[in-house]
């Protein structure tokens, strides 16, 4: 039979309470993410006429610094291909359709 230890410390709340972002830091991060998305979106818009008919419903992972992209039916596979070639770089996934949305509501 096991007994719970009365010395166990129970913490509630933030995982890292010492990390508190200011509103300026939050706005800066939001702007950085938006700029990254826009760089990827430009590449997607340029490629869309070429790939829309052939790969409709598939996924595309775009690495914006090089302009490389990886297409597959499964978004996890497309993401894995991007990570294999660029292991320490962030990429963005789009669904190959009219809107670029890759998920479902």
Residue 59 phi, psi (nearest 5): -125, 150
Q: Please, are residues 95 and 79 in contact by the beta-carbon 8 Å criterion?
A: no
Task: List, for residues 4-26, the tens digit of each pLDDT value.
Answer: 666 776 667 677 777 888 999 99
Domain coverage including residue 29: 23-102
Residue 6 falls inside a structural domain: no
User: Which residues of the chain carry a pLDDT beneath 50?
Assistant: none
CA distance 29 to 22: 11
Q: Encoding tokens for residue 67?
A: 């302009």
Residue 3 falls inside a structural domain: no
CA distance 36 to 91: 9
Residue 12 falls inside a structural domain: no
């Amino acid at each position: 039979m096991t007994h719970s230890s009365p010395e166990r410390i129970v913490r509630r709340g933030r995982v890292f309470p010492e990390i508190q972002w200011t509103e300026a830091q939050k706005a800066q991060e939001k702007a950085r993410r938006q700029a990254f998305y826009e760089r990827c979106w430009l590449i997607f818009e340029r490629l869309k006429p070429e790939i829309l008919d052939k790969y409709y419903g598939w996924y595309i992972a775009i690495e914006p610094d090089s302009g490389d992209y990886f297409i597959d039916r499964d978004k996890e596979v497309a993401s894995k291909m991007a990570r294999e070639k660029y292991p320490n770089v962030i990429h963005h996934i789009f669904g190959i359709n009219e809107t670029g949305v890759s998920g479902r509501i």
